[in-house]
Amino acid sequence: MWVYFIFNLESLEKTEMENQDEFVPVLDEKELQEGKMKLVSVEGTPILFIKQEGQIFAINNRCPHMACSFSGGTLDGLVIVCPCHEWRFDLKTGKYDVEPGYELTKYDWKIKAGKIWVRL
């Protein structure tokens, strides 16, 4: 009985690790325009895709301060400004410009065959 439990636990850990490496296709690359934001829901998670200065960023749509929606905010170069309290987050580092303890949740992404894929 004990060996059976260990085998299943190892199997679950392996499956969990494999899932962490999986990317999900979310939108066509041409749908994301320069200087614009595109909100998509990926497995129930609101992810905001941003194309700014030729770079793509994928962040959680909720501000880490009070969970306001970034999709209603603005872009200022490589900074996203939260619409609720005007908190400014650097898209490259994810850090809040005043208190670095607040940080964006960023997601890995890739482009494959004209589609943008994201890993949760």
Each domain of the chain, given as residue ranges in start order, spans: 23-119
pLDDT-derived band at 68 (thresholds 50, 70, 90) equals very high
Q: Can you give the pTM of this predicted structure?
A: 0.81
- Residue 72 has a pLDDT of 95
pLDDT 10s digits, 35-44: 999 999 999 9
Angle at 26 (CA atoms; ends 22, 32), nearest 5 degrees: 130
Q: Provide CATH code, domain 23-119.
A: 2.102.10.10
Total residues found in the chain within this entry: 120
The arithmetic mean of pLDDT across residues 87-109, rounded, is 94
Q: Are 36 and 30 in contact (CB under 8 A)?
A: no
